[in-house]
Amino acid sequence: MTTLLEISGLTKQFGGLTAVDGVTFSMDKGEVVGLLGPNGSGKTTVLNMVSGLLPPTRGTVMLNGETLTGLSPNRIALKGVARTFQLVRILPSLSVLENVVAALAFGRRRLWGTVARDEALARLEQVGLADRADETAERLTYIDQKRMELARALAADPAVLLLDEWLAGLNPTELRIGIDLVASLGERGVTVLLVEHVMDAVRALCGRCVVMNAGKTIADGRTADVLADAEVVRAYLGAEHA
């Protein structure tokens, strides 16, 4: 396998608080890796540093051997890192299609006109929304807004896709749809780093997991092994369950 993303000694301090403390792991091209941990463990802060929303205090992030650390979020996006957020961010007054076209117009390939429209429709088809392309984005259900956000991220043609609790807040039917959709990305060879609390989704999607607690990495390995690790169980459920 080819190493795609390398995170080395990543640390983030906010005054006297160390939110992320020396996190190190790598991802191969085509992997779907779960980044797990209880609330407040530093997972989203890691994603924010990888995507450039926060500068690390120490450590490096490399993509295809090129250092991303210190670059602005837009430059990191142009290098090939796309992400979704815990709270869906849409352009509500625009159509579903226009939301995706906007990502193409300002993305890595700078697509405009008919070419951008065709590409946007292809991405909406990929997430099952092509038949709603002309609807106003604010009219979409929550799961469909998440699908649209994913289509926008995929429109950037990312080398790495960061999904921050993309499956949170879905009912059982929507969750099944969401799991199948993310699984289809893995089958297409998309490299995904997935922050998630829904363990059924983690088991279904992730061949490997990295687990954090209090800013540190406490486990990294095959999903079944990691979820059975006593320290991981202790971090989630307390010592009496370990």
Residue 37, pLDDT score: 94
Domain count, the chain: 1
Contact, 218 vs 240, CB < 8 A? Answer: no
Instruction: List, for residues 127-150, the tens digit of each pLDDT value.
Output: 889 999 999 999 998 889 988 988
Give the percent of the chain with pLDDT over 90: 60
Domain residues for the domain of 47 are 3-241
d(CA 143, CA 149) in angstroms, rounded, equals 10
Residues of the chain predicted below pLDDT 70: 1, 237-242
What integer pLDDT is reported at residue 1 of this predicted model?
Answer: 64
CATH number at residue 173: 3.40.50.300
Flag whether the pTM goes above 0.85.
yes
Q: What pLDDT is recorded for position 242?
A: 46
Tens digits of residue pLDDT in 22-40: 999 999 999 999 999 999 9
Name the nearest CA neighbour of 163 among 205, 130, 121.
Answer: 205
User: CA-CA distance, 230 to 216, in Å (whole number)?
Assistant: 16
What is the reported pLDDT for 241?
46
